[in-house]
A = this chain, B = another copy of it.
């Protein structure tokens, strides 16, 4: 079954990481980075494949370009996801409970952090924190719904 194969290959780095780091917060963060980074790489791969099929030619230059895009988007999505998963885990530890408010607080912290790192200031950081919290809360509710 394709599902088993894919999940297996996604889970294998997790096991190694759990053995290696020994810090649960870091494990969560790394796990989020690897899994969501993989999704982003697959997304760029799909996009680039579509473009190549449409153009009908594969050049060395376009392959190199695609590879660069994969690395960039993979690292970007992976970083945000890693920060979020780490934050939610941290919030869960501090609050001592598991509910949708962890997602909201973790999303808000992640939004603020990503925004601050991206050289935004003042109001923009707060707006990004609110948006991050709202998106994380929405994703949490959707995961209950489906």
Does B43 contact A142, Cβ atoms closer than 8 Å? Answer: no
Chain A contact residues, majority secondary structure: helix
Does B99 contact A142, Cβ atoms closer than 8 Å? Answer: no
Does A142 contact B3, Cβ atoms closer than 8 Å? Answer: no
A68 at the interface (CB under 8 A from B): no
Interface residues in A77-95 by Cβ distance below 8 A to B read 77, 81, 84-85, 88-89, 92
Q: Considering only CB atoms, which chain B residue lies closest to A37 in the complex? A: B138
CB neighbours (8 Å) of A50 from chain B are: 126-127, 130
For this chain, the copies found in one complex come to 2
Does A39 contact B81, Cβ atoms closer than 8 Å? Answer: no
One of B3, B35, B77, B102 near A99 (C-beta < 8 A): B3
Q: How many residues of A contact B (CB 8 A)?
A: 42
Q: Considering only CB atoms, which chain B residue lies closest to A50 in the complex? A: B126
Given contacts A35-B145, A130-B46, A145-B35, contact A40 B138 (CB under 8 A): yes
Provide the bound-state CA to CA distance between A123 and B77, in Å.
23
Residues of A in contact with B (beta carbons under 8 Å apart)? 3, 28, 31-32, 35-36, 39-40, 42-43, 46-47, 50, 54, 77, 81, 84-85, 88-89, 92, 99, 101-103, 106, 123, 126-127, 130-131, 133-134, 137-143, 145-146
